Amino acid sequence: MQKESFQILLRFFKALADDSRLKIVGILANHECSVEELAMLLHLKEPTISHHLTKLNELNLVKMRSSSNTQLYKLDSEILQSISKEIFTSVEMASVVEDEETQVSSNKVLKNYISSDRTNSHPRLKEIPASRKKRLVILKWLANNFEMGVNYPEPKVNEILKRYHPDCATLRRELIGYQLMQRENGVYWRQLGL
C-alpha cells in the first residue's frame, strides 16, 4: 500500500473511531441536518457537533450547503465509494500486512549482516549476501548513505563504501546494477524513488 493511501486509511479509521462521529455519519447518510438538529438528536452541544463535523470534513466525508441562514450537512457517498474502491480492496488491505512483513524481513537481514561493533564509528557489513533479495536490502541500506541531488566522484563513493566493507568495487557495481545509483563519466548520484 502506498504511504498516501495508508495515511488516508489511518485518518479514516481515526475519524470513525469516535462514537459520536460514527452516529453523525449514520444520520447524515439518511438525510441532511444542521448542526442544531444533530445536537438535539445526539444530545450534544453545538460546538461539539461542529468539532466532529470538522474532523469528518477533513476527509471530505461530509458535504455542506447553505439554505437561508442555516448550513446543512450530508454524507458524501461518492467519496465513501471512492475510498472503498481505491483503498478497501482486498489487495490494498493485504498490502498493509505485506509492507509490515517486508520491513520486519529487512530488519532481520540488516541485523544478520551488519555488525554492531561499537569501536567503529560506522557499522560494518559482515559480508555481501549471496541471495539477491538479501543483497537488495543491504544495498538499499548503503544507498541511504548518499544524499539525493549530490554528485559523487568515484573516489568519494569508494571512501564512503569502504567505511562499511572493504570490497567497494563490488558494492559500487551492485548499486548501479540494482539501479539504486546512476553513473556517468566517473560521477555517481543516488537514484530517485528510494
- Choose from 50-54, 55-59, 98-102, 103-107 the range with maximum mean pLDDT: 50-54
Q: What is the mean pLDDT of residues 142-146?
A: 90
- Torsion angles phi and psi, residue 13, rounded to 5: -70, -35
Residue 1 has pLDDT above 50, yes or no: no
CA distance to 19, 50, 114, 136, per residue, from 122 (Å): 50, 53, 10, 20
Residue 118: the pLDDT is 60
Cα 49 to Cα 39: distance, rounded to the nearest angstrom: 6
| Residues 126-135: tens digit of each pLDDT | 999 999 989 9
DSSP string for residues in 66-101 = EETTEEEEEE-HHHHHHHHHHTSSHHHHHHHHHHHH
Higher pLDDT, 24 or 98: 24
| Residues 108-124: tens digit of each pLDDT | 888 888 887 666 667 88
pTM over 0.85: no
CA distance to 42, 78, 155, per residue, from 93 (Å): 33, 20, 45
Higher pLDDT, 8 or 36: 36
| Residues 38-88: tens digit of each pLDDT | 999 999 999 999 999 999 988 888 999 998 888 999 998 887 777 666 666
Residue 95 has pLDDT above 60, yes or no: no
Q: How far apart are the first and last CA of the chain?
A: 15
What 3-state class would DSSP assign to 115? strand
Q: Do the beta carbons of residue 74 and residue 31 sit within 8 Å?
A: yes
Residue 99: the pLDDT is 53
Cα 102 to Cα 30: distance, rounded to the nearest angstrom: 42
pLDDT band at 173 (very low <50, low <70, confident <90, very high): very high
Residue 68: the pLDDT is 85
Kindly give the interhelix angle for 35-42 and 46-58, rounded to the nearest 10 degrees.
110
Q: What is the mean pLDDT of residues 139-161?
A: 91
